[in-house]
Amino acid sequence: MSIEIAKKHLEKLGLGDRVMEFEVSSATVELAAQAVGVEGARIAKTLSFYLGESCLLVLAAGDARVDNKKFKARFAQKARMLAPEDALRMTGHAVGGVCPFGVPEDVEVYTDVSLKRFDTVYPAAGNDRSAVRLSCEELYTAAGSRGWVDVCKDWDRPE
């Protein structure tokens, strides 16, 4: 059901034809990268956190990790990830398929600068067997992002 919500949202923006559905799981960065055929960093993961009675989503590169100090400085609270049952209830998408498409209006979405280094990224599209190919700007717009943030670490280190 949630993939249908995400698809409908993307179709309204003329992006629905880019949704990919897989026979295999894409529930983690590693699995999604294998399913899509790209490096894990290009998977745009949707991180979900509590924000009062609602929640906050941060879109970040697959190789980025939340920096608790930066997160607290930006959002004035500790980064506390949603429990799986709360993710489904608050975003409409289950863990492994959480995405910013078709979420309730009270859900705040932000995009981390870790994604800016890529022309194309691949967020989930509503379930744990999907992805959608988008440019960073298309992702930002389609997600209804409220702004670019710098709340992640480890993505900018040379290998």
What mean pLDDT comes out for the span 72-93?
A: 95
Q: For residue range 127-139, what is the model confidence (pLDDT) as tens digits?
A: 999 999 999 999 9
CA dist., res. 26 & res. 48, Å (int): 17
What mean pLDDT comes out for the span 32-54?
A: 96
Q: How confident is the model at residue 52 (pLDDT cuts 50, 70, 90)?
A: confident
Q: For residue range 147-159, what is the model confidence (pLDDT) as tens digits?
A: 999 999 999 765 5
As assigned by CATH, the class of the 2-151 domain is: alpha beta
Q: How confident is the model at residue 1 (pLDDT cuts 50, 70, 90)?
A: low
The beta-carbon contacts of 62-69 under 8 Å, at least 24 apart in sequence, are 62/29, 62/32, 62/33, 63/29, 63/114, 63/154, 63/155, 64/112, 64/114, 64/152, 64/153, 64/154, 64/155, 65/152, 65/153, 65/154, 65/155, 66/151, 66/152, 66/153, 67/151, 67/152, 67/153
Return the pLDDT at 53: 86
What mean pLDDT comes out for the span 62-88?
A: 96
Average pLDDT, the chain: 95
Return the pLDDT at 159: 54
What mean pLDDT comes out for the span 42-54?
A: 95
Given a cut of 70, whether residue 78 has pLDDT beyond it is yes
The predicted model scores a pTM of 0.95
The full set of domain ranges for the chain reads: 2-151
What mean pLDDT comes out for the span 107-131?
A: 97
